[in-house]
């Protein structure tokens, strides 16, 4: 029988060569693509493993703390801790520590904002005109942020009266003062506007005629009043130095200022934090935190809380103070230091408010630098950064978001916070409100006061004492593509997302400023220990617990399973919200931020959020996609081969019937067909192995000899599977059925009704249901393959992109995807074209008969084209529907989301089928009428 097989292949060598080329292309493509895909999968998994782990694997938060955005899309804001204050007990933390498999359980308790008072001085020496007997300077201050787009002029101007005349300064007991010239003077009410004036001792200027004039001054500004102003008195001594009421002789004249700078305070367990993120190795000065409990001191009836902290040395605050020093042109001897300066709402004399001014200097100070100066030289001595009474901390709520039509997130404004209702603490003894000037800018968070001890009426003092400083950049971080924004100490990243926003920010980031109700929240800048927090006696002080699982090293299956089991145990033991952060990745989101009250325009920003579980989704999607790619390539190849073998079997019906008549059993008929196709498969496999090695070498693809030799069994198996059904049908051939036509006679109703060429084409399709269905099925499988392939590719890239890790992976696998799609499309088109060509050959007698009765070549060509289009429409419709349903089931994507892909594939399929049908429609005119009729 082997000789019969070889003879048949030689006799039909055209068809044999076509089968050989088809199997060669499919097997070579499959071999090379699987090798390249395996290499790229290894690269992808390596990339995922290297970047999938953050500094912790599990995040534990209070029940119900997830935002609506996080619940809906798995996205976590970079400031997720800045709006979470308490909710987890110390007992629950200890329960987590005791769970088997937990390496580190590091709690963090957010306490609230502390307003550190930065004391600094404005040097006005260069603005002094030493030739004038008296002069007045005015300091106009402007608070700025957001690269200058936020600008707030300070209504409380500072005036400086400078004289060369002698001044007697009050000294000693304010109720019974003695002036610096040794004299006692009677009470004066010149410097008050009160109906019931109280004596206030003020400096006295000695006029040239010996008379005395009381100079009214006010050192502190009432920033809650838009009428507030202050007057400072200074004298130029004969030696050129300066004298003020609270300064001895100095070479420079400076004006004291205070800058309230908000710092977020958090408490940690020092040992756990050192183990998790190496906080102890990030110190730049001082000593690390102690784990010992700190008890409040109430020995004198006033509760005194001492909170030792590590202070950041990189505050990253975008806030500036611009000071314009102006010389006022006022007449010599004008009464400028008159009554009212020391009243709660100081008024400015008309002679000053109406005086022309000349700017003589400008100075710009930054919040960052003033904060650095403050932590280097704490204002209250003994390392005390803040010394406050009453309400000590402000706790902002999380920002809430609405989703725009384009998918961007729009932070929702919050009601403005009334400082009086908050009853914020004040710097001890100064009477100066601690709120920064920019506090009144647009609010996106509501502030709540936190009162140590729970009773604002109870006397208490909180002292924030510096134990050391730390550098946030030295704290251990996640991998570059990992869950960066889940880190506790990292500054949020907000950059312009369009040209206008980039221009408004000057190409820099949007950073936090003095507005603690603003959108940008800062990470903890002051770190204390849970031992210090224990003195506040909070029932649920912990905001979150970051857990690292023992033995979890990457996103591999074993690590994922260990983390999953640990997370399950934590949830069962505590009942808290538990999120697996292993495999999370940064996912930039577009933020549509409304305009500020002080000039900042509306901004479109890109902010680095985190998508939970991105790595697992990438690996799973990659596995699904690779499986679909290679299965579809083989399916399309089998379609091509099966259709070709079926055509061969149909064309040899008479031969097979004769062999059956001569006594060939069914198994020999089946074996004959399988043997012929299997022989072609073996040859194709051997050639494919050699071709694959050459192609891989030219394309710089890693392909081992063992992998290349797999082409032989793949090609043989592919050939035998594709030929199985046609061979089985060949074994069922009988002489009587083989010599009869397989085309049904047209029904009278159809014959009478179909008069046009299109109608006859439709009738022909219905007359030959087997052939029509086979052609439609061939096209349907090819169309379904392309639909599934395109859909899976798009679903995969839509799934993995949007995170830094996913974007990197998407670029790595895009090449193989494109080649696989192209290979599948080409094989599908070849299968359809081959089916149509074989159909023309099988029906050559029919076309010859049509010409014999007078049909023109154009009419016959249209008939063939119409039949091809009809098969195409039926096959494309079936294929697209099957492809969409398969993708939706396999990839978990809704059919509605893939309709666009289905329409695109359907249109392309119909057009390509029509083009393919024109080829046999054109070739049919070369059929010989006489030869075909004679054969018939």
The region of weakest confidence among 118-122, 606-610, 813-817 is 813-817
Q: What is the pLDDT of residue 425?
A: 43
- Residues 521-579 have pLDDT tens digits of 888 999 999 998 888 878 899 999 999 999 887 777 788 788 889 999 999 999 999 98
- Residues 726-748 have pLDDT tens digits of 778 777 766 555 455 444 445 54
Are residues 834 and 778 in contact, defined by beta-carbon separation less than 8 angstroms?
no
Please say if the pLDDT value at position 915 is more than 70.
yes
Nearest to 506 by CA among 515, 514, 495: 495
Cβ atoms within 10 Å, residue 430: 13
Q: How confident is the model at residue 426 (pLDDT cuts 50, 70, 90)?
A: very low
Q: DSSP assignment of 344-409, as one string?
A: TT----HHHHTS-EEEEEEEEEEHHHHHHHHHHS-TTSTTEEEEEESB-EEEEPPP-EEE-TTS-E
- Report the predicted TM-score, pTM, of the whole model to 2 decimal places: 0.70
DSSP 8-class letter at 598? T
Q: How confident is the model at residue 765 (pLDDT cuts 50, 70, 90)?
A: confident
Please say if the pLDDT value at position 14 is more than 60.
yes
The region of weakest confidence among 206-220, 593-607, 784-798 is 784-798
- Residues 485-513 have pLDDT tens digits of 577 888 888 999 999 999 999 888 999 99
Q: What is the pLDDT of residue 753?
A: 47
Q: DSSP assignment of 841-905, as one string?
A: HHTHHHHHHHHHTT--HHHHHHHHHHHHHHHHHHHHHHHHHHHHHHHHHHH---SGGGHHHHHHH
Q: What is the mean pLDDT of residues 696-714?
A: 77
- Residues 609-618 have pLDDT tens digits of 887 766 666 6
Please say if the pLDDT value at position 323 is more than 80.
yes
**Maximum mean pLDDT: which of 221-235, 306-320, 651-665:** 306-320
The region of weakest confidence among 599-603, 697-701, 855-859 is 697-701
Are residues 310 and 274 in contact, defined by beta-carbon separation less than 8 angstroms?
no
Q: What is the mean pLDDT of residues 407-411?
A: 91
Q: What is the pLDDT of residue 98?
A: 94
The dihedral through the CA atoms of 544, 548, 553, 556 has a sign that is: negative
Helix axes 711-731, 13-51, angle to 10 degrees: 130
Catalogue the E-assigned strands of 183-250.
204-206, 212-214, 229-236, 242-244, 247-250
Separation CA 78–CA 51 (nearest Å) = 18
The region of weakest confidence among 598-602, 680-684, 853-857 is 853-857
Q: What is the pLDDT of residue 258?
A: 83
Residue that the structure tokens 């359907």 belong to: 906
| Of 310 and 196, the one with more pLDDT | 310
Are residues 706 and 625 in contact, defined by beta-carbon separation less than 8 angstroms?
no
End-to-end CA distance of the chain: give it in Å, rounded: 30
Q: What is the mean pLDDT of residues 262-283?
A: 93
Please say if the pLDDT value at position 769 is more than 90.
no
| Of 342 and 352, the one with more pLDDT | 352
Are residues 417 and 446 in contact, defined by beta-carbon separation less than 8 angstroms?
yes
The region of weakest confidence among 192-201, 353-362, 584-593 is 192-201
- Residues 873-891 have pLDDT tens digits of 887 888 788 777 776 765 5
Please say if the pLDDT value at position 796 is more than 60.
no
- Residues 203-231 have pLDDT tens digits of 899 988 888 888 887 655 444 444 467 88
The overall average pLDDT reported for the chain is 78
Backbone torsion region of residue 87, taken as left when φ is above 0, otherwise alpha when ψ lies between -120 and 50, otherwise beta: left
Q: How confident is the model at residue 808 (pLDDT cuts 50, 70, 90)?
A: very low
Q: What is the pLDDT of residue 812?
A: 42
What is the token pair recorded at 138?
Answer: 């005015």
Are residues 846 and 914 in contact, defined by beta-carbon separation less than 8 angstroms?
no
From the number of C-beta atoms within 10 Å of its C-beta (0-12, 13-18, 19+), residue 474 rates as: middle
Q: What is the pLDDT of residue 773?
A: 73
Q: What is the CA radius of gyration of the chain?
A: 43
Q: What is the pLDDT of residue 566?
A: 93
Cβ atoms within 10 Å, residue 745: 8
Separation CA 300–CA 418 (nearest Å) = 33
Q: What is the pLDDT of residue 420?
A: 66
**Maximum mean pLDDT: which of 51-65, 83-97, 240-254, 434-448:** 83-97
Cβ atoms within 10 Å, residue 751: 14
Separation CA 205–CA 161 (nearest Å) = 11
- Residues 108-121 have pLDDT tens digits of 999 998 888 888 88
Q: What is the mean pLDDT of residues 396-421?
A: 86
Please say if the pLDDT value at position 52 is more than 80.
no
Q: What is the mean pLDDT of residues 819-826?
A: 63
Q: What is the pLDDT of residue 454?
A: 63
């Amino acid at each position: 029988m082997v000789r019969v097989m070889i003879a048949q292949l030689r006799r039909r060598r055209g068809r044999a060569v076509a089968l050989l080329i088809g199997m060669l292309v499919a097997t070579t493509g499959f071999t090379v693509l699987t090798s390249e895909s395996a290499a790229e999968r290894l690269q992808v998994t390596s990339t995922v493993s290297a970047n999938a782990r953050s500094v912790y694997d599990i995040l534990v938060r209070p029940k119900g703390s997830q935002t609506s955005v996080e619940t809906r899309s798995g996205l976590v804001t970079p400031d997720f801790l800045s709006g979470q204050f308490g909710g987890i007990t110390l007992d629950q933390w200890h329960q987590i520590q005791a769970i088997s498999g937990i390496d580190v359980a590091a709690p963090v308790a957010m306490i609230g904002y502390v307003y550190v008072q930065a004391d600094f001085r404005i040097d006005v020496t260069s603005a002094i005109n030493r030739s004038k007997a008296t002069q007045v300077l005015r300091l106009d201050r402007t608070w700025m942020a957001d690269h200058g787009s936020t600008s707030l002029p300070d209504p409380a101007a500072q005036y400086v009266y400078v004289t060369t005349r002698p001044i007697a300064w009050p000294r000693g007991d304010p109720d019974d003062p003695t002036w610096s010239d040794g004299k006692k003077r009677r009470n004066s009410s010149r410097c008050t506007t009160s109906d019931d004036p109280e004596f206030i001792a003020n400096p006295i200027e000695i006029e040239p005629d010996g008379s005395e004039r009381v100079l009214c001054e006010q050192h502190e500004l009432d920033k809650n009043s838009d009428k507030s102003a202050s007057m400072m008195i200074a004298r130029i001594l004969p030696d050129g130095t300066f004298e003020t009421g609270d300064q001895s002789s100095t070479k420079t004249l400076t004006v004291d200022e205070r800058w309230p700078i908000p710092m977020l305070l958090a408490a940690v367990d020092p040992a756990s934090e050192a183990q998790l993120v190496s906080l102890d190795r990030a110190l730049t000065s001082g000593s690390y935190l102690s784990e010992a409990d700190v008890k409040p001191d109430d020995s004198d009836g006033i509760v005194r809380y001492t909170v030792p902290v590590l202070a950041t040395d990189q505050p990253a605050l975008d806030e500036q103070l611009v000071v314009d020093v102006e010389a006022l042109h006022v007449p010599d001897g004008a009464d400028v230091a008159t009554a009212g300066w020391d009243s709660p709402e100081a008024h400015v004399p008309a002679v000053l408010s109406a005086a022309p001014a000349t700017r003589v200097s400008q100075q710009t100070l930054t919040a960052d630098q003033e904060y650095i100066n403050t932590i280097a030289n704490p204002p209250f001595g003994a390392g005390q950064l803040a010394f406050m009474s009453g309400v000590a901390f402000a706790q902002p709520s999380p920002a809430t978001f609405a989703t725009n039509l384009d998918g961007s997130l729009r932070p929702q404004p919050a009601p403005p916070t009334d400082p009086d209702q908050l009853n914020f603490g004040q710097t001890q003894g100064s009477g100066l409100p601690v709120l920064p000037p920019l506090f009144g800018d647009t609010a996106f968070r509501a502030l709540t006061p936190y009162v140590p001890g729970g009773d604002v009426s109870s006397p208490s003092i909180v002292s924030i004492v510096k134990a050391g400083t730390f550098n946030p950049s030295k704290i251990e971080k996640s991998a570059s593509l990992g869950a960066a924004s889940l880190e506790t100490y990292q500054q949020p990243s907000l950059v312009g997302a369009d040209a206008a926003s980039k221009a408004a920010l000057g190409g820099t980031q949007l950073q936090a400023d003095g507005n603690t109700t603003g959108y940008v929240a800062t990470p903890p800048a002051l770190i204390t220990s849970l031992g210090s927090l224990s003195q506040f006696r909070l029932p649920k002080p912990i905001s979150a617990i970051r857990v690292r699982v023992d033995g979890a090293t990457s996103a591999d299956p074993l690590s994922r399973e260990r983390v999953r089991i640990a997370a399950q145990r934590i949830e069962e033991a505590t009942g808290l919200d538990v999120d697996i952060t292993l495999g999370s990745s940064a996912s930039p989101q577009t933020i549509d931020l409304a305009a500020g009250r002080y000039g900042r325009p509306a901004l479109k920003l890109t902010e680095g959020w985190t998508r939970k579980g991105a790595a697992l989704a990438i690996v799973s999607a990659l596995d699904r996609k690779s499986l679909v790619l290679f299965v579809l390539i083989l399916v399309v190849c089998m379609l091509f081969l099966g259709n070709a073998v079926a055509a061969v079997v149909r064309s040899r019906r008479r031969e097979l019937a004769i062999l059956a008549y001569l006594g060939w059993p069914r198994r020999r008929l089946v074996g004959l067909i399988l043997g012929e196709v299997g022989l072609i498969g073996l040859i194709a496999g051997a050639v494919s192995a050699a071709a694959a090695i050459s192609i891989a070498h030219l394309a710089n693809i890693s392909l081992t000899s063992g992998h290349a030799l797999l082409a032989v069994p793949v090609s043989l198996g592919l050939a035998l599977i594709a030929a199985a059904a046609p061979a089985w049908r060949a074994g069922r051939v009988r002489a009587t059925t083989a010599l009869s036509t397989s085309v049904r006679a047209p029904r009278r109703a159809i014959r009478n009704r179909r008069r046009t060429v299109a109608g006859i084409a439709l009738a022909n399709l219905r007359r030959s249901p087997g052939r029509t269905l086979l052609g439609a099925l061939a096209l349907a499988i090819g169309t379904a393959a392309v639909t599934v392939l395109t859909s899976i590719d798009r679903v995969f890239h839509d799934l993995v992109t949007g995170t830094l890790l996913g974007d990197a992976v998407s670029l790595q696998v895009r090449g193989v995807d494109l080649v696989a799609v192209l290979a599948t499309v080409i094989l599908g088109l070849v299968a359809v074209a081959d089916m149509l060509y074989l159909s023309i050959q099988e029906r050559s007698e029919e076309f010859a008969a049509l010409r014999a009765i007078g049909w023109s070549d154009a009419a016959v060509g249209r008939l063939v084209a119409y039949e091809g289009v009809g098969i195409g429409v039926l096959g494309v419709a079936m294929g697209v529907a099957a492809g969409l349903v398969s993708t939706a089931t396999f990839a978990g994507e809704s059919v509605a989301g893939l309709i666009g892909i289905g329409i695109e594939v359907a249109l392309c399929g119909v057009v390509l089928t029509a083009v393919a049908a024109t080829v046999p429609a054109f070739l049919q005119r070369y059929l010989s009428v006489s030869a075909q009729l004679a054969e018939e």
